[in-house]
Structure 1
Amino acid sequence: MISRFRPALALLLSGCLGACAAPMAEGGHGEPVEVGIVAINDFHGALEPPRQSVNVTDAAGNILPVPAGGAAWLASAVDSVRAAHPHSLTVSAGDMISASQLASSLYLDEPAIGVMNRIGVDFNAVGNHEFDRGQDELLRMQNGGCEKFTARQPCALEPFAGATFRYLAASTRRADGSTLFPATGLRTFGSGRRAVTVGVIGLTLKGTPNLVNPTGIKGLTFEDEADTINAAVPVLKAKGADAIVVLIHEGGRTKGNPDPQGCNDFAGDIRPILDRLDTRVDVVVSGHTHWAYVCDYAALNPAKPILLTSAGVFGELVTDISLKIDPVAGRVVSKQARNVIVQSVPYTATRGPISNTPLFPQFQPRADVAAYVAKYVEASKEYTQRPVGRIDRAAPKNEGAEGGAGGPLGNLIADAQLGATRDAGAQIAFMNPFGIRAPLVPAADGTLTFGDIYLCQPFGNNVVTETMTGAEIKAVLEEGLDDNGPRQALAPSTGFEFRYDPARTSGDRIVSITLDGQPLDMTRTYRVTVNGFLGLGGDGFSGFVGKPDTVTGPTDIDALESWIKAVPVRNVPQEVRALVVKG
C-alpha cells in the first residue's frame, strides 16, 4: 500500500465503523481471542480489473469513483487484511465462478478456482451461478479432473486439480437426503485453554431453481434458508463452536449516497431470513445482490444481534471482520467489520477517465497471481481481441437506483435479439437489465472487440422465440415491476414502448403499451424473443415459461455481434422505451 486515509475521510469512516460494530458484554476470564474473518462474494471469475469502480461519498458529500478489482490486486488486499489478525479464516459467499470474464469462462472457470487456491480461501458457499454448467461440472470444480460435462474441453491449458478450499451447501440436497457438499465446517485457532473454534454454515438461496437451467439441477432440492441455518447451529455448538459464521448467497441493498461501510434503509430478500435466525448466529456474510454494506442488524431488529456484511462484486472489496471470542465462556464478546476497497488501476469509463485517489490505499498486484492470470489472458487473446464492429458512442450499463432499467444498452441488446430472430417470426424482443454485466466502451474509432461484448453478456444463453398474447405480455411486464424482489423494467426492442406508474398497486402498474405506435391488442398473439434464461422463468419472470411454438435461435452474444457488424457503424438507440409516469 502506498498511501493512507486522509484525516477527514478517516474520521467519517471510523464513525461508521463504531456504529456498525456490535459489541457484547465481556463475560470470560482473561483476554478474549481475536479471529479475523476475511470475506468476499460474487467474484464471478474477474481475473482482470473489471473496469468498474467502488463509489464512495467523500467528506464534502461528493460521490467519488474508486477504480477497483483484479485478482492479483485482490490477493494483495486479502494478504493485507489477513496480516492484521493473529488468526484468520478466509471465506466466500458464492458465485465465485460463471458469468465470468472471457479468460476465465473459456477455460470453464478453472483459472478462477486456481486464483482462489492461491489467495487461500478456506470455505465457499455455493451460489446460484455455481450451477450454471450443472451439478456434475460443479463437483469437478471441487474434486478436479478433466472429465467433460460441457461443450467446452476441460483442462485445455493445463491439468486441473480442483479447489483446495471446501464448498459448503447446507440447503442443497440430493434425492437421498444428503447434501451436495458438506453443510458446515469448523476451524480451531490457538491451543489449550486459549483455543477457540469458529463454525461455518454455507448455503445458497432457496430461489436458485428460478435462476438456473433446470437440467443442471435435476434431482436437487433447495431448502428454506432460515430452517437450514437453525438446524445447523446446535450441531456446530455441540461440536465445540464458540462462534457461528453463516455464508449465504442472498442479500439486500441500501439506499442513499454510496457507502460501502453503511446500512442506510437496508432492504432485501435476506431480511426475513435474518429475522428468523437462531440468536447464536454471530456473523452473516452475504452476496447475490452485488451490493456492498456493513450492518449491525440489531439496529434493525434488536432481537437479532447479527453482524451482516457484503463485499459487493468482482473482487472490488474485501470485508475485514474482527471477532473477539471469550475462550472460557465459549462466545463472541465483540464483533466489527469494514469493507476495504481493492483500489487497483485507472481505466476509461463511459463517462470518461477514472483515476486513482490517495484517499484510499492503492494495492500492488501480487506477482504469483498476476503471472498465473497472465497465462490465461494471453491464451484467450485470439478471442478477446478480435474486432466485431463499431458503435457510434459508448453504451453505459445502468447502475444504482437505475440498475433495474435497461437504458440504451438494454435497447441495443433487445434490438440485436429481435434482428437475429426475425426469421422465426419475432415481432418483439425483451432484455432483462440484471442480465447486463458491463457497459460497451469502444475504442476511439468506435471499434468493439469480442472481449468487449463478452464482458457485457458472458452467459452464452441461446435466444428463444415464442408465442404470447398481448395480455400475457402485459402480465410478464407487471412481474418485473411487482413487489416480489427488486424491480426490473424489461428493455424492449425498437417500436415497443410501455409506460408504468410505480405508485400504483402491485400487478397493475402498467399504464399503456404500444407497438409501432398502436396500442397492444390484449387478445392478439405476438412472436416474442427473450434469452433462454428468461424463457425458463429466470429473474422471476414466470410468464415466459411454457409458451407454444418455441424456436431456439443463436446465442445472445452471437446475436449482438451479428447486429453490430451488420452495418458500418451501429447507432446505440437513445430513446426511452420504458417510461416512468406519475398519476
Structure 2
Amino acid sequence: MPATPQRRRGVSRLTIGATVLAACVGAAVAGSALPAGAETGHHGHGGRTVDVQLLSFNDFHGNLEPPQGSSGTVEEIQPDGTKKAVPAGGVEYLAQSLRTARKGHPYSVTAAAGDLVGASPLLSGLFHDEPTVEAMNKLGLDVTSVGNHEFDEGRAELTRLQNGGCHPKDGCYEDGRTFGGADFPYLAANVTDEKTGKPLLRPYTVWKHKGVKIGFIGVTLEGTPDVVTAEGVKGLKFHDEVETINKYAKVLDKQGVKAIVALIHEGGLPASTSYNYNCDSPGAGDGISGPITEIAKHVTPRVDALVTGHTHQAYACTIPDPSGRPRTVTSAASYGKLYTDTTLTYDRRTRDIVRTRVTAPGAVNHVVDRTQPKAADMTALISRWNKLAAPVAGRPVGHIAADIAGRGAGAPESPLGDVIADAQLEATKASDKGGAQLALMNPGGIRSDLAYAASGSEGDGVVTYGEAFTVQPFTNMTNVVDLTGAQLLTALQQQVSGPNETSPKVLQVSGGLTYTLDLTKKGADRVVKDTVKLNGAALDPAKTYRVAMNEFLAGGGDGFAAFKDGRNKYVGPSDLDAFTAYLTAHSSKEQPLTPPKADRITVVK
C-alpha cells in the first residue's frame, strides 16, 4: 500500500526579502542553521562515529508527472554488459523512493543542487511552479542551491517561491488558499545584489541533529547570465564558484562546523551515459570531464562532498581535492529519475567527515522506478493541480503520426528541432510580421519529445496544449533581426567554438538552410564555410538576411554573441504560440504530422 507521508521537519518559514536580508546578512554569516525542526526524533548512536545519510537529486524542472518519451528513461548496464532503457521519474515515485531509503537511517538529510523549477511542464509551469515547491515540502527536502532556471522569472519571483504569497499578476489559484513558499532554504552564496554587494539569499545553512552538524553551501554556475534572459538576472552579479565556496567554508570552519557539503549547480560529462557506470573502476577512463572537474580540484579540502547538477547527467565519482584526498562528486541525472545515496561518516570528536578513503558504495545512484507504490499524498497533490489545469492542458492542438524526438534525439539535429524552427519561420515570414527568411532554435530550449502514445484520455497521436507546453515552456517571444551573411556564419561557428567548443550547442534550423558540420575538426573550422546555403544559394557574407529566433538567443544567450549585433528587431508571437499554431495548421486526425528526416545539417564524425 502507498507509504504514509514522510514526517516534515517542522521547518519554520524563512524570510528572505531584500529588506530583511540587508538587516540579517551579518547574522547569516555569523551562523545560519536550519530551524529547530531539523532536529528530528531520530535516535543516535553512542560511538565515536555515526553514518549520516545524504540523499540528493538535481534538475527536477517541475516534472511532477512521469516525463514522456526518452526524457522519462535512464540507461542501465545489465549484468551481461548490454544496456537497457528503464522507465523512471515522477514525484509520486521519487517521494516513495526517498521515504523508503530513509528507513533505518536515524541521521538522514535530503538536499538538491538547483533547477527544481523552471522549464517545467504545464502542470507546474502554468502555476509559476507553486505545485513543485509544495511537492518538495511534502517529500522532505531540507536544502537546495539555486540553479540558473530559478532565475527564469527574475529575482522577485525567486524570492516569492522562498517566502510565499500569491503571484503578483495571476493572484492566488484557489479560493481560501495562499501559497506558503518553500519550507527549505534556497542557497545562493555566489549571487549578490549588484548595487549593495549583499547576498540575494542565504549563502549557507547548517543541518543539526543530536550533536551532528553539517554545513551546506549552495552556488549556481558563474555563467548563469549566459543561459538566462537578461531580464531574469537584472541587477544581480554572479561570482566564481570555487572562490565563493572556499570563502564560506572558512566561515563555517571558524564556527566549528567542520563537516561541509557543497551544492553546486554546475556539472560534468561522464564517460558513459549509463547511470550505474563505475567511473572509478580501473581502466574506466577519466570518469567525468567538463567544468565540475576543475571546480572539484580547486574547492578547499574543508568541503567533504560535492552534489552537482546542470548537465542532466548521472555520475557518482571521486575526484581528488587539492590535498590529494578522494572526494565524492555526484549528480542524479534530471527530472527526478534518480536519487543519490551518499554515506558521510561523521567523527564526533573531530566534528568532521572521515575521508581517509572513499570507495563504493560511498555514493550510489538509484533509479526512481515506477514499479513501486505511489506516494498517496503526491497523487493527491497532482490530482488537485490537474483539475485546475484541465481546461487549458487538455485542449488538442495537433496530431502526429509517430514519436517526434526532441531532447532525446541523441544527434546534433533533432526532428522536433526542425519542426520548431519551421514554426517560428512560418509565424514571422510574412512581410508585415517580420519578413523572416530563416529561423534558428537553441537546442536547450527544447525540453522534451512529442510522444505518440497518449499520456491521458486524449487518444494516441493527439498533441495537447499541455504536451506542447512541456516542449516549449519558456514562452520566449520570437524576434526577427537583420544579420549579414558574415554575422550569420560567425553565429554558426559559435555553436562549436569559444565557450561551446567542448560542449557544442548546435542550433536547429528551418527548412532551406543547409550546411556541413565536420566534427573531426576543431573549433570554428567544424562549420564548413562553402557548404552554408539558403534555399540552394551560397551564403553571401555581404548580404543582409532576416533571421527569426527566440529572445533568449537574440540577447546572445548560450554563447551566441553574434546575435546581439542584430538590427531592426521585430517582436513576433511567443515561441509556444508559434509552435501550437504550426501544429494546428499542418496536421489533422486524418493527416497527422510525420517526423521530419532531420537532414538539414550534414554531420561528419
Above 0.5 in TM-score? yes
8 Å CA contact retained: 1:242, 1:327: no
Kept in 1, the 8 Å contact 2:300–2:322? The answer is no
Q: Of residues 111, 122, 125 in structure 2, which corresponds to 1:91?
A: 111
Which of 364, 367, 375 is the aligned partner of 2:384? 375
Paired residue for 2:542?
Answer: 523
Counterpart of 2:522 in structure 1 is 505
Do 2:164 and 2:180's aligned partners in 1 also have CA atoms closer than 8 Å?
Answer: yes
Match status 1:341 vs 2:373: no
Q: 1:410 aligns with which of 417, 439, 456?
A: 417
CA contact (8 A) 2:54 2:108 kept: yes
Give 1:109 shift.
0.6
How far, CA to CA, are the matches of 2:341 and 2:473 in structure 1?
A: 30
Change beyond 3 A, Cα 1:256–1:163: closer
1:257 CA drift (Å): 5.1
2:492 & 2:110 partners in 1: Cα distance?
41
Aligned twin of 2:25 = none
| Aligned positions of 1:59-74 closer than 5 A | 59-74=79-94
Q: Aligned letter for 1:99? A: A
Name the CA shift for 1:445/1:163 in 2 (closer, same or farther; >3 Å).
Answer: closer
How far does residue 30 in structure 1 lie from its aligned partner after superposition?
A: 5.0
CA distance in structure 1 between the aligned counterparts of 2:248 and 2:173, rounded to whole angstroms: 36
1:107-128, CA deviations, whole angstroms, 9 ceiling, x for partnerless residues? 1111100000101111110111
Q: How does 1:298-447 map to 2 (within 5 A)?
A: 298=320, 303=324, 305-334=326-355, 336-344=362-370, 362-399=371-408, 402=410, 405-423=412-430, 424-443=434-453, 446-447=461-462
Is 165-174 or 63-72 further displaced after alignment? 63-72
Residue aligned with 1:306, SS = strand
The CA distance in 2 between the partners of 1:272 and 1:215, in whole Å, is 30
2:28 equivalent in structure 1: none
Paired with 1:211 and 1:95, the residues of 2 have a C-alpha distance of 13
1:511-560 deviation line (CA, Å, top 9, x unaligned) = 12011112111111101111111112222222212410111111111111
User: Which residue does 2:204 correspond to in 1?
Assistant: 184
Match of 2:469 in 1: 454
| Shift of residue 463, structure 1, vs aligned partner | 1.0
**Would the aligned equivalents of 1:226 and 1:273 in 2 still touch at CA under 8 Å?**
yes
> Normalising to structure 1: TM-score of the pair?
0.87
Which runs of structure 2 are paired with 1:98-177 in the superposition (5 Å)?
A: 98-148=118-168, 152-156=170-174, 158-174=177-193, 175-177=195-197
Residue 279 of structure 1, aligned match among 294, 301, 305: 301
Q: How does 1:41-60 map to 2 (within 5 A)?
A: 41-51=58-68, 52-60=72-80
Consecutive unaligned residues of structure 2, counting only runs of 5 or more, are 3-45, 280-284, 454-458
Determine the C-alpha separation between the residues in 1 that align with 2:383 and 2:350.
Answer: 49
Conserved? CA contact 1:196–1:242, under 8 Å: no
Residues 211 and 537, structure 1, Cα contact 8 Å, conserved in 2: no
Shift, 1:188, TM fit? 2.0
Segments of 5+ residues of structure 1 without an aligned counterpart are 3-28, 345-361
In the alignment, which of 286, 289, 303 is matched to residue 267 of structure 1? 289
C-alpha distance in 2 between matches for 1:323 and 1:99 = 32
Q: Percent identity?
A: 39
Contact (CA 8 Å) 1:94, 1:125: kept in 2 or not?
A: yes
Query: What per-residue deviation string (whole Å, max 9, x for no partner) do you get for residues 363-409 of structure 1?
Result: 21111121012100122111221111222332112538x35x23211
Superposed counterparts of 1:484-563, under 5 Å: 484-485=499-500, 486-511=503-528, 512-563=531-582
Deviation at 1:506, TM superposition (A): 1.2
Q: Distance in 1 between matches of 2:439 and 2:449?
A: 20
Alignment of 1:289-300 (within 5 A): 289-298=311-320
- CA 1:257–1:117 in structure 2 vs 1: closer, same or farther (change >3 Å)? closer
Is this contact kept in 2: 1:406–1:431, CA < 8 A?
Answer: no
Residue type of the alignment partner of 2:184? F
- What is the aligned partner in structure 1 of residue 53 from structure 2? 36
Q: CA deviation at 1:302?
A: 7.4
- In 2: Cα distance, 1:132 partner to 1:333 partner: 39
Q: CA-to-partner distance for each residue in 1:214-266, whole Å, 9 max, x for gaps?
A: 22322210001000001011111111213110001100111235234533541
Deviation at 1:281, TM superposition (A): 1.2
Name the CA distance, whole Å, in 2 between partners of 1:223 and 1:308: 21
State the distance in 2 between where 1:446 and 1:152 align.
Answer: 32
Aligned residues: 530
Counterpart of 1:573 (choices 596, 599, 604) is 596
Preserved CA contact (<8 Å) 1:261 1:293:
yes
2:259 to 243, 252, 262: 243
Could you tell me how far apart the structure 2 residues matched to 1:100 and 1:451 are? 11
- The separation in 2 between residues aligned to 1:69 and 1:292, in whole angstroms, is 14
For 2:463, give the aligned amino acid. Answer: L
Tell me if structure 1 keeps the 8 A contact 2:273–2:314: no
| Structure 2: distance between partners of 1:261 and 1:445 | 35
Letter in 2 for 1:541: F
1:422-468 deviations in whole A, cap 9, x for unaligned? Answer: 12110011112222111111357632111221121111111111111
How has the CA–CA distance of structure 1 residues 257 and 284 changed in structure 2, closer, same or farther, with 3 Å as cutoff?
Answer: closer
8 Å CA contact retained: 1:261, 1:338: no
Contact 1:282 1:305 in 2 (8 A): no
